Amino acid sequence: MTGAGDKAFVSGADISEFEKARNTPEQVAYYDKIGEVANTRLTKCAKPTIARIRGYCIGGGLAVSLTCDIRIASENSKYGVPAARLGLGYRAAGLKTLMGLVGPAHAKEIFFTARHFSSQEALAMGLVNRVVPDAELDSYVDNYCKLIGENAPLTMHAAKRTIEELARLDGKPDFGRLTGLVKECFDSEDYIEGRRAFMEKRRPVFKGR
């Protein structure tokens, strides 16, 4: 997932619209619901997702990047959450996701300062997975996608959903579901293919079943 053009992944909400579109409690609730539904759909995507970040990744745009499994950024990108300059409050679920990546201290720094952070700072905090030169970003992400695409879909799906359950905010993880996902891997044709390919010293061909 990436932004159109070279200026931004997502530059954030249009603040000039807030007076009309995010003024009353009803408008705020409606605005938040739209964002919640969109982000949930991205988070629930069954396949691995990568945010290819070039340029600004600000506010709600940063939240969108956090719905992806992996974030790969160009070295000239910028990140930030300007909520403290606007008097906005962020819900617990969003802060939980951010805190899970960067820890409480960095999450506080991001919100308290409301400043822009460089890609190098974002990498050091754990906000992004990789930082590469801008000219190499597209080819690097393409190669990463190819690398991931060669692996067993059921294994990746099980890992993605297990991590999601372990990090959930609303109650205990569904360990029964997670056990079922692991069993699905061991019962699959891909598990047989993976073992045989290893013994035969060849590249496995997985089919997701």
Strands 78-80 and 56-58: parallel
| Residue 78 neighbours by CB under 8 Å, 6+ apart | 55, 56, 57, 58, 116, 117, 118, 119
Residue 21 is predicted with a pLDDT of: 58
Q: Are 131 and 76 in contact (CB under 8 A)?
A: no
| pLDDT for 56 beyond 90 | yes
pLDDT average, residue stretch 53-63: 93
Q: What is the pLDDT of residues 161-184, one digit of tens each?
A: 998 888 777 778 888 888 888 888
- The distance of Cα 147 from the centroid of its chain, to the nearest Å, equals 18
pTM score, whole prediction: 0.79
Strands 78-80 and 117-118: antiparallel
Phi (first) and psi of residue 72, to 5 degrees: -120, 125
pLDDT average, residue stretch 28-53: 80
Q: What is the pLDDT of residues 141-168, one digit of tens each?
A: 999 999 999 999 999 999 999 988 887 7
Q: What is the pLDDT of residues 91-121, one digit of tens each?
A: 777 888 899 999 999 999 999 999 999 999 9
Question: What is the H or E stretch that residue 7 is in?
Answer: none
Q: Edge-to-edge strand order for the sheet containing 8-10?
A: 8-10, 56-58, 78-80, 117-118
